[in-house]
Amino acid sequence: MIVIVDYNAGNLTSVQLALRAVGVEAVISRDPAVIADAERLIFPGVGAAGSAMEGLRDLGLTQAVIDFTQTGKPFLGICIGCQILLGSSEEDGGTACLGIFPGRVAAFTPAPGVKIPHMGWNAVRFTRDHAVLQGLPTGSHFYFVHGYYPQLDDPTSPLGVTDYAGVTFPAIYARGNVVACQFHAEKSGEAGLRLLKNFCAWDGT
Amino acid sequence: MLTKRLIICLDVRNRKVTKGVKFAGNVDLGDPVQMAAQYYRDGVDELVFYDIMASAENRPIDIGMVRDVAREVFIPFSVGGGIRNLEDMREVLLAGAEKVSVNSLAVRNPGIIRDGARAFGNQCVVLGMDARRSADPKYPSGYEVVIQGGRTPVGKDAVAWAIEAEKIGAGEICLNSIDADGTKVGYDLELTRKVSEAVGIPVIASGGAGTPQHLMDVLTVGKADAALVASMVHYGTYTVGAIKSEMAKAGLPVRI
C-alpha cells in the first residue's frame, strides 16, 4: 500500500489524484501503524517549516517518518516535505528539522525585480541518473512555489538543479531509498506525473 | 530560468463557461471541466475559475466542479468569485485547487487575506483586483480600485491596495484593468508596471489581451510575471501552442 502522510500540511488531495491519474491508488493516513506498514511513503506539504514540524509533533508522527526512511522502502518528500528532511530551516526564525539529509534550508535574498516566492514553472537540469527520472529529458519544467531553498552538504545527493534569484539550488535529491523534490510533482503536468509513476515503480535502491 | 506563465481564465455560471458580450448578455461556451482538460493537454501553465454568479447570489462556489477539475488537470488552478470566509477557502483547497482568489471580500474585510495566509500559507491566497484609471488626486497612482465589475468604486488607490495586500499576506496579485477588459487592444501596461514594481510578489496581468504581441508587451514593458487570457483562446482565435511559440520566438522564457 502507498501511503500519503497527513500531518495538517495540506495538498494531500492533489497528490492522491495525481497518483490515481497514473493508475496508482494511495491512502491518506496519520496513523503511525499504517505509515510503518506502507510499501512506500509520500511526504507532501505546503506552508511553512515551523508549522509542518509542529504538525508532525502534535500528531506524534515525527519518529514514524524518521523510522520509515531507515527501512529501505521508497520514500518521497515533496516541497515542505523535502525541506524538513534537512537539519534545519531559516524559516520561522530558525526551525530544527528531521536531519535525514545533512544540510539546511536558506531564504532567497530579495532583490529588485526578483519576486519571492519563486512561483511558477522552472527548468530542472539533471546532474545524475536515477530511476525516478527515467524518460524525462534534462531541462524539463516543473512547478515551484517556495521562498526558501535547500542547501545540501553532500555534493553527490542532487539529481537536478534549478536557478533562481541568483542561486543554483538542488531541485531534486536522493540518498538511498529517500528522494525529495522541491517542486510540486503533483502539479507539474505530464513531467510530474511521469516522475510520480517512476517513483511508484522504483524499488528504493 | 523561471518561465513567464500563460494563464487561461474560465468564467463559470451554472456549470457553463460563459463570456459576457456587450448588448447581448452572456453566451455559454462549454463545459468547464472539459475545457480545462483540453487546455491542460494543450500545455497551458495555469487555470483560473471564477464563479461569476456565486457572489451576486450569495451562495457557495460549486465545489463539485472544483473536484471534477482536480481529477482532470495536474497543473495549478485557482478558484474565485463567491469566497465568503475561511471555511470556503478551506473547502476549495481541499477539493484540489492550488490557490484561492479573493476580490470584493478582501476589500470589505482585508483580514481574510491575513487569516487565509496564516491558515494555508501566503502562496494559496491571490488578491484579485479590478482597477480603472482615475484623474482624482486622491489616487496618486492614477488608478482606483473598483468592485462589482467596475460599477462600484471603493475609495482605494490601486498601488496602495496592492502594497497593503502584500504586507498582510497575499502571495500573488491578479490585476484586471476594467478599462482594457473586453477591448482586445492590449493590457494596461502602465497599471501593470506600476503595481508589479511596487510589490515583491508575482503579478498576473488581466484584461485586454487580443494578440500574442499584447502578452509579450505586458510581460516585458508591463513587468508582469504571468498573463491571463480568455476570449483569445475560447473562440479558437489562438491556441495555447501558437501563443507560446510566439512568446518563445520573441525570446521570452516559456514552458513548451
pLDDT digits (tens, 9 = 90+) for B94-139: 899 999 999 999 999 999 999 999 888 888 999 999 999 999 999 9
pLDDT of residue A90 exceeding 70, the answer is yes
Q: Do A46 and B255 touch (CB under 8 A)?
A: no
Q: Let me know: does A118 contact A108? Beta carbons within 8 Å.
A: yes
Residue B144 has what pLDDT?
98
Residue B53 has what pLDDT?
80
% of residues, chain A, pLDDT over 90: 89
Give the mean pLDDT of A27-32. 96
Predicted confidence (pLDDT) per residue in A98-120, tens digit: 999 999 999 999 888 899 999 99
A37 confidence band (pLDDT: 50, 70, 90): very high
Q: Which residue has the cell 480600485?
A: B145
Residue B58 has what pLDDT?
75
| Residue B203 domain-assigned (yes or no) | yes
Contacts of B3 in chain A (CB under 8 A): 120-123, 141
Residue B247 has what pLDDT?
96
Residue B20 has what pLDDT?
73
Predicted confidence (pLDDT) per residue in A134-158, tens digit: 999 999 999 999 999 999 999 999 9
Reported ipTM: the value is 0.94
Q: The domain spanning residue B167 has which CATH number?
A: 3.20.20.70
Q: Chain A contact for B207, CB < 8 A? A: no
Q: Do A143 and B76 touch (CB under 8 A)?
A: yes
Exposure string over B138-152, b if 16+ CB within 10 A, otherwise e: ebebbbbbbbeeeee
Residue B22 has what pLDDT?
59
Q: How far apart are the first and last CA of chain A?
A: 18
* Mean pLDDT over each residue of chain A, to the nearest integer: 95
Contacts of B172 in chain A (CB under 8 A): 119
**The total number of structural domains that make up chain A:** 1
Q: Do A115 and B225 touch (CB under 8 A)?
A: yes
**The total number of structural domains that make up chain B:** 1
Q: How far apart are the first and last CA of chain B?
A: 13
Predicted confidence (pLDDT) per residue in A55-87, tens digit: 999 999 999 999 999 999 999 999 999 999 999
| Residue B256 domain-assigned (yes or no) | no
Q: Chain A contact for B96, CB < 8 A? A: yes
Q: Which residue has the cell 483562446?
A: B233
Q: Let me know: does A103 contact A150? Beta carbons within 8 Å.
A: yes
Does residue B11 carry a catalytic annotation?
yes
Contacts of B71 in chain A (CB under 8 A): 17, 20-21
| Cβ-nearest to A121 among B3, B95, B122 | B3
| Residue B150 domain-assigned (yes or no) | yes
Q: What range defines the domain where residue B161 resides?
A: 5-249
Q: The domain spanning residue A155 has which CATH number?
A: 3.40.50.880
Residue B149 has what pLDDT?
79
A23 confidence band (pLDDT: 50, 70, 90): very high
What's the grid cell of residue B183? 477591448
| Helix B111-120, helix B158-168: angle, nearest 10 | 40
Cα(B120)–Cα(A85) distance, rounded to whole angstroms? Answer: 21
Cα(B173)–Cα(B63) distance, rounded to whole angstroms? Answer: 23
Secondary structure of chain B as H, E, C letters: CCCCEEEEEEEEECCEEEEEECCCEEEEEECHHHHHHHHHHHCCCEEEEEECCHHHHCCCCCHHHHHHHHHHCCCCEEEECCCCCHHHHHHHHHCCCCEEEECHHHHHCCHHHHHHHHHHCHHHEEEEEEEEECCCCCCCCCEEEEECCCCEEEEEEHHHHHHHHHHHCCCEEEEEECCCCCCCCCCCHHHHHHHHHHCCCCEEEECCCCCHHHHHHHHHCCCCCEEEECHHHHCCCCCHHHHHHHHHHCCCCCCC
| Cβ-nearest to B70 among A14, A115, A164 | A14
| Cβ-nearest to A120 among B5, B95, B171 | B5
SS3 A199: helix
Q: What range defines the domain where residue A176 resides?
A: 2-201
| Residue B254 domain-assigned (yes or no) | no
Q: Chain A contact for B5, CB < 8 A? A: yes
Low-confidence ranges of chain B (pLDDT < 50): none
Catalytic (active-site) positions of A:
79, 184, 186
| Residue B197 domain-assigned (yes or no) | yes
